[in-house]
Structure 1
Amino acid sequence: MEAATDGGIAQEASRTVPETADEPVEHGAVVRAAIENGSATARSREPLVAPGLPFRSEGRYYNVSSSVVDRQPGTFHRLGIDYNGTAQDSATVGYENLSARDRTVLSQVLPPVTVAKKPGPDYYFDGTYTATERNQSTLLAADTEAVRYEGETYPIVVTETDSVTLPTREYTATVVANTTGAYAQQLRSEYVFTLSGLSDAERSVVTEAINDTYYANTDRDEAFTAVLERFRQRDAITQNEYRGVWLVRYDGEVYVAELSYEGFDME
């Protein structure tokens, strides 16, 4: 449990815009485009933005939702890239000579991502193409074995091809709050609850959590379980089957409380 600051509350209740190091570049790009322009469209078999907490960007907070606006027949391809392989020049195509869709697909893996290098493909990724894009593709041509990017040659293999229906989704960004303070106040109003009427043993759990961290050494820790039950009866800022984050008022002070309860029977 830590004393609640506006910044601490807002951080617990928001997401950063995905970066290339963590997610395929399209995921972050569509979020950024929606935030910058109000909306953005992208084609993918599955939504590129998972439902969840708002995104924070330059001090503002945004919900990003999606809806399907079009469907087209196309193909799905599972590809692999070899970051330390070689290929004949005659079977290698320059990155600048690829189609626009080819370059978008390869943006997931070029510049190279950090992976352990081994013989054969080091990293696998997906690409989808409409019929027109498939016909324009150089990457998927039978005589293409590698791509030359910034002076380096990277062999590419196609390991799987399927016919699919390709949805086009519109992603819409809606402002939740224009400042961190305003967002934190919204969260305080919605989530803060008062923790009171505790037994001495339960107060010991909370006091230790405030001073540092309280660890339940057994799933039969009755005091911890009782405190946990108090929290679980209230709405959390974020919660899953293993942990949750709450805003709680205790002895007149508001805290951000994180509880981990894997292994505890919460039925």
Structure 2
Amino acid sequence: MAWELVNNGYGEHHTLVSEAVQENESTVESEDAPIPDGTVLVHENVVYEATFEVVDSRPATTYSLVFEDVGSPGISGDGPSIRFPELPRVDREKLAARGLGEPPTSLGVVAPSLYTEPEQQSSVLVPEPEYRIVEWEDDTGRLRIVNQLSSPIKTRRYTVDEVAPSPAEYGQRTVDDYAFQLTGLSDEERRVVESAVDGREGYTVADGESIPDAVRSLVTQFRPREKVRQSSDDVSGTYLVRYEGSLYWTQLHLTDEFDSSTEG
């Protein structure tokens, strides 16, 4: 379960969540999920878990477009040209959304642009450009498509289930379910923990350095514990840890080298 409290006023997601709460579901079309499956969030001071199912999918393609400034060294202005206002509406809107409207502010910058199949049929820029040169009022750019990637647009049906009547109750439940106490620490282990607590960057073993025995032994206390936030299949993740009377939101990240050296 993704563990993330998103409070009231969470912008573009507010309407989605509000509709799901009031109407029992909310449907949205997008390439990526606007809210990850299993996200825990707050709406009107009640805690919910949001889940979705994909109910439809339609093909689309992301084109990585670059308009290189004509007149720059090596950039030719030869080839079929079109003025920006004469582009089909779909192309004008896609370019404007990427800083390539009038005037353009992103010449020379890769502009990923998502086109559905009907939009591609209306376009003069993709999939095969009919024009290589686009003229703005004071600028001219030469189109180059550097990459294209299948990017299906999925229809997701979201539902939300109440998991707690208030953030306070949910927080206490989370502490009860996940928090654990570090016990039996040696002096070296304490130094590692206190460095992680006090240091702005936490405690890190630099690349190329050997992993201290104190770190290895500390990790053994995390292995049987359940993570608050699941970020990987190994012990790396987010935990709630009690130490010296305080509760800490703790992020543990282990590299592949740690596991391989431990096994060896």
Tell me if both proteins adopt one fold, taking TM over 0.5 as the criterion.
Answer: yes
TM-score, normalisation: structure 2: 0.61
Letter in 2 for 1:195: L
Higher CA-based Rg: 2
Asked if 1:14 is matched to 2:4, the reply is yes
1:146 aligned onto 2:151: no
Q: Provide the C-alpha distance between the structure 2 equivalents of 1:168 and 1:79, rounded to a whole number of angstroms.
A: 20
The reply on whether 1:109 has 2:98 as its aligned counterpart is: yes
Distance 1:255 1:97, change over 3 A: same
Q: TM-score, normalised by structure 1?
A: 0.61
Q: Is the 8 A contact 1:147 1:153 kept in 2?
A: yes
Partner of 2:23: none
Please state if 1:264 is matched with 2:253.
no
Letter in 1 for 2:246: E
Q: Give the 3 Å change call, closer, same or farther, for CA 47–194 of structure 1 in structure 2.
A: same
Task: Decide whether the 8 Å contact of 2:81 with 2:135 is kept in 1.
Answer: no
CA drift of 1:130 comes to: 2.7
Q: For 1:207 and 1:181, how far apart are their aligned partners in 2?
A: 28
Does residue 213 of structure 2 align to residue 222 of structure 1? yes
**How far, CA to CA, are the matches of 1:79 and 1:179 in structure 2?**
45
The number of residue pairs the alignment matches comes to 233
Correspondences of 1:126-145 after superposition (within 5 Å): 126-131=113-118, 133-137=119-123, 139-140=125-126, 142-143=130-131, 145=133
Q: CA deviation at 1:225?
A: 0.9
User: Aligned in 2, Cα 1:209/1:16: closer, same or farther, shift over 3 Å?
Assistant: same
Contact in 2 for aligned 1:66/1:169 (Cα 8 Å): no
Once the two structures are TM-superposed, the CA of residue 219 in structure 1 deviates from its matched residue by: 3.4
Distance 1:210 1:95 in 2: 60
Does the 8 Å contact 1:71/1:165 carry over to 2? no
- The separation in 2 between residues aligned to 1:161 and 1:204, in whole angstroms, is 51
User: CA offset at residue 170 of structure 1?
Assistant: 1.6
Helix, strand or coil: the match of 2:84?
Answer: strand
Aligned residue in 1 for 2:224: 233
Superposition map of 1:57-136 within 5 A: 64-72=50-58, 74=59, 76=61, 78-82=63-67, 84-85=69-70, 91-94=82-85, 98-99=89-90, 103=93, 105-106=94-95, 109-110=98-99, 121-131=108-118, 133-136=119-122
Structure scoring higher RCO (CA < 8 A, sep ≥ 6) equals 1
Q: Evaluate the alpha carbon distance shift between residue 57 and residue 66 of structure 1 in structure 2; reply closer, same or farther with a 3 A threshold.
A: same
| Equivalent in 179, 184, 187 of residue 197 of structure 1 | 184
